[in-house]
Amino acid sequence: MNKNTGLTTQQKNLIKEIDELMKLFNLDYNNAQFYKSETRTIKLRMIKDQIIRSEIIMRYLTIDEFLNDIIVNYFFGTKKTYIYLWKTKKFQIFNYWILESLGFFQKVNLVNSIKKIPSDISNNMDRCNKLRNGIVHNLFSENSRSLNKSKYRGKDIFSIDGMKLFEQDMKRTNSYFMRERRLFRMLTNI
């Protein structure tokens, strides 16, 4: 059975690109039997490590984008789309010289002054930020004091259990921000 059945041409092309990228970056774990036997385990561990690191970074970036969204909505309202706002000099200046210059915790503090973030969500964001800082500044996580020997709420972040716990927290965090975004838009469009 063809795994591409029912996919559009664009989707098939994206899968082809993903397969090529997996090969380009030596992440093609489906063909691990073709790796040299003496490096196979190391290579598979590196692939697992890279997948986990990329998920942590993407979750961090998602939270950062949610914070940006709240800040932009507060200062620019919700009646105009981002497509429209990006065409204005005022928004471009705000984005490039104010929003981009704020660090993660500055954004958190600004959002907290707009609307208090619940402590459980704030704690999730803080843990995600610490993980992100630990993994981007250390190739070997065990060298990071901030990662506390790669622990996330007591679990090894490079394990399935650790990532499941991280993923649960990030889903709750995303759900919170998605609800807040809808509520803010509804309240400001009245």
Q: Which tens digits make up the pLDDT trace of 79-115?
A: 898 999 999 999 999 999 999 999 999 999 999 999 9
Asked whether the predicted pLDDT for residue 149 surpasses 60, the reply is: no
Q: Which tens digits make up the pLDDT trace of 41-80?
A: 988 999 999 999 999 999 999 999 999 999 999 999 988 9
Task: Please state, in angstroms and rounded to a whole number, the distance separating the CA atoms of residues 132 and 146.
Answer: 10
Q: Judge contact between 111 and 67, C-beta under 8 A.
A: yes
Task: Please state, in angstroms and rounded to a whole number, the distance separating the CA atoms of residues 154 and 142.
Answer: 15
Both tokens assigned to 4:
């591409």
> What's the distance, CA 149 to chain centroid?
21
Alpha-carbon dihedral sign for residues 122, 149, 131, 27? negative
pLDDT interval class at 3 (50, 70, 90): low
pLDDT at position 190, please? Answer: 44
pLDDT interval class at 184 (50, 70, 90): low
pLDDT average, residue stretch 151-167: 93
